[in-house]
């Protein structure tokens, strides 16, 4: 009987992981498509911002390392804190899923903008700028989201359907998962602060080569 319950719980959690991942991917696609929905003026403004960012990298004036680590760590931690608080409230679970979608939109928009601006070389640039930190941050964020939803469902079943007992253990599990994900997000901030600038310096000449070709026409 206990084995059957554990198998059912594992199956439910796997379904949640699949659902949350698909939601994130849909957000990525939506974010990439949003780039084409911008007006010409908005596209030009974003293009200017990207160019300015590249100039900072090229000139070595881009903040990095210890100058940015605290800010990036706090930025990542805020996302996690919001998910944890929304999970505790239970009624905030739809907003947790909305954050998963929004995270995908932000990633997709950043990649879509670079690809639109620099074609396939923009994809390479996005692998240097967007991918490294998100390869750690996104899984951590999605795992925390699944944990929040799982805890919320447990609370609903426990308090309103009377199927489960005390909430202490599930709450401890949820909080422990969030704490572990916080460690991963701090690692993501380290990558963003120390590794990403190095990769960007490598990728900038590739993008500048595209700019030079465009200016020659």
pLDDT recorded at residue 106: 93
pLDDT recorded at residue 96: 94
What average pLDDT does range 192-212 have in this prediction?
76
Tens-place pLDDT, residues 49-78 = 888 877 777 776 676 677 788 899 999 999
Six token digits for residue 188: 């993501």
Using a CB cutoff of 8 Å and minimum separation of 24, what contacts does 13-17 make?
13/146, 13/150, 16/146, 16/149, 16/150, 17/142, 17/146
Of residues 173 and 9, the one with the higher pLDDT is 173
What average pLDDT does range 177-196 have in this prediction?
93
Six token digits for residue 38: 């911008």
- From the list 121, 136, 138, the residue with the least C-alpha distance to 31 is 138
Q: pLDDT band at 215, cuts 50/70/90?
A: very low
Of residues 188 and 200, the one with the higher pLDDT is 188
What average pLDDT does range 11-26 have in this prediction?
90
- From the list 110, 121, 93, 95, the residue with the least C-alpha distance to 46 is 110
Q: What is the rounded CA–CA span in Å between residue 156 and residue 159?
A: 5
Q: pLDDT band at 213, cuts 50/70/90?
A: very low
pLDDT recorded at residue 9: 61
Tens-place pLDDT, residues 110-168 = 998 888 888 878 888 888 888 889 999 999 999 999 999 999 888 887 766 665 567 77
pLDDT recorded at residue 6: 46
**Four-point Cα dihedral 185, 186, 192, 193, nearest 10:** 170
Q: pLDDT band at 203, cuts 50/70/90?
A: confident
pTM, entire model: 0.84
Q: pLDDT band at 212, cuts 50/70/90?
A: very low
Q: What is the rounded CA–CA span in Å between residue 77 and residue 182?
A: 6
Q: What is the rounded CA–CA span in Å between residue 46 and residue 62?
A: 18
- Count of Cβ atoms closer than 10 Å to residue 43 Cβ: 16
Q: What is the rounded CA–CA span in Å between residue 200 and residue 106?
A: 19
């Amino acid at each position: 009987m206990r084995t059957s319950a554990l198998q059912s719980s594992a199956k439910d959690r796997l379904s949640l992981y699949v659902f949350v991942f698909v939601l994130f991917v849909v957000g990525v696609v939506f974010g990439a498509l949003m780039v084409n929905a911008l007006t010409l003026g908005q596209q030009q403004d974003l293009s200017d911002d990207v160019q300015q960012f590249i100039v900072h990298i090229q000139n070595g004036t881009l903040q990095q390392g210890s100058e940015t680590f605290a800010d990036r760590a706090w930025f990542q931690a805020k996302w996690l804190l919001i998910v944890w608080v929304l999970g505790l409230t239970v009624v905030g679970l739809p907003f947790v899923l909305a954050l998963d979608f929004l995270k995908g939109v932000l990633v997709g928009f950043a990649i879509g903008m670079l690809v639109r601006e620099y074609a396939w070389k923009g994809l390479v640039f996005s692998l240097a700028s967007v991918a490294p930190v998100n390869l750690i941050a996104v899984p951590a964020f999605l795992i925390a989201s699944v944990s929040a939803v799982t805890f919320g469902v447990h609370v609903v079943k426990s308090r309103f359907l009377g199927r489960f007992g005390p909430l202490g253990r599930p709450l401890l599990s949820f909080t422990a998962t969030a704490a572990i994900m916080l460690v991963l997000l701090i690692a993501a901030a380290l990558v963003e602060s120390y590794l990403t600038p190095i990769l960007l310096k490598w990728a900038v000449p590739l993008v500048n080569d595209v700019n030079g070709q465009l200016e020659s026409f």
